[in-house]
Amino acid sequence: MRKRNKLYFVGLASILSLSLVACQSNISSESVADESLVYVDRDINSTLDPDKPLTDSYLKRAGAAEALFWVNSKGEVENQLADKAEQIDDTHWKIHLNPKAKYWSGEPVTADKVIASYERSKAVNPSVESLLRGLTLTADSEKEISVVSDIPGLDVPLNLSKITILNPDKSFESVDQVDLTGPYKIEKFTPKQSLELVRNDQYYGDLAKIEHVTMQEVSD
């Protein structure tokens, strides 16, 4: 039985980025199959619900949670669960979802589910309510959403890049109830101690190279 190698990182970079960088330094893809990455931070999440304080940022950093868009290191908005955003005029956008996007459960990410996810988050999360204020979202088809803004010129994709898409039909009270979309799935969670993740081999995009990731909280 091969011994699993462990890579240790300390800091605030995303787990997904670190897993990709770490693999590029290895000789072959086979050599990373049994590797794990341990990520150490002074503070980690206390819940699994993206709408609870601080949880969303940790789940995104761990590669578990995603939004329709994300912002790269240059400050540019790129597609994530969406594969196209078209600005029709100053107040109207059309957003097309990646046709392959799906939740960990295997359910497809649809326009209706995205809108329901936003409604769920808006009702309990003041930050999301602020980001969605003045926006009217309509499902034009299974994979297309119309967004109309009360504010002319609003960068709608930028606002939506800050909101995690979750399966609104699921509960987020325990590991087996969480249903997100990221390239890493939550395997085990101890609040304020550790978050263990495993590669999502059914991910709709490129698979992560490192199989296991652990986030650990350490005090000074």
For 58-108, write each residue's pLDDT tens digit.
999 999 999 999 999 999 999 999 999 999 999 999 999 999 999 999 999
∠ CA(190), CA(194), CA(200), 5° rounding?
Answer: 95
Strand partners, 18: none
- Give the tens place of pLDDT for each residue, 130-152: 999 999 999 999 999 999 999 99
Beta strands 82-87 and 92-97: pairing type? antiparallel
In the predicted structure, residue 158 carries a pLDDT above the cut 80: yes
Q: What is d(CA 206, CA 201) in angstroms, rounded to the nearest whole number?
A: 10
**Model-level pTM?**
0.86
**Average pLDDT over the chain, rounded to an integer:** 88
Which residues, 6+ apart, have CB-to-CB distance to 38 below 8 Å?
A: 6, 7, 8, 9, 213, 214, 216
Question: Rounded to the nearest 10 degrees, how much is the dihedral formed by the CA atoms of 103, 13, 17, 67?
Answer: 30
Q: What is the pLDDT of residue 5?
A: 53
Strand partners, 78: 70
Tell me if 131 sits within 8 A of 161, measured CB to CB.
no
Q: What is the pLDDT of residue 21?
A: 44
- Give the tens place of pLDDT for each residue, 11-35: 445 666 656 544 433 323 343 455 8
Instruction: Read off the tokens for 1.
Output: 């039985």
Residue-range domain boundaries for the chain:
36-217
Q: What is d(CA 9, CA 18) in angstroms, rounded to the nearest whole number?
A: 8
Q: What is d(CA 24, CA 22) in angstroms, rounded to the nearest whole number?
A: 6
Q: Does domain 36-217 have CATH number 3.40.190.10?
A: yes
Q: What is the pLDDT of residue 203?
A: 98
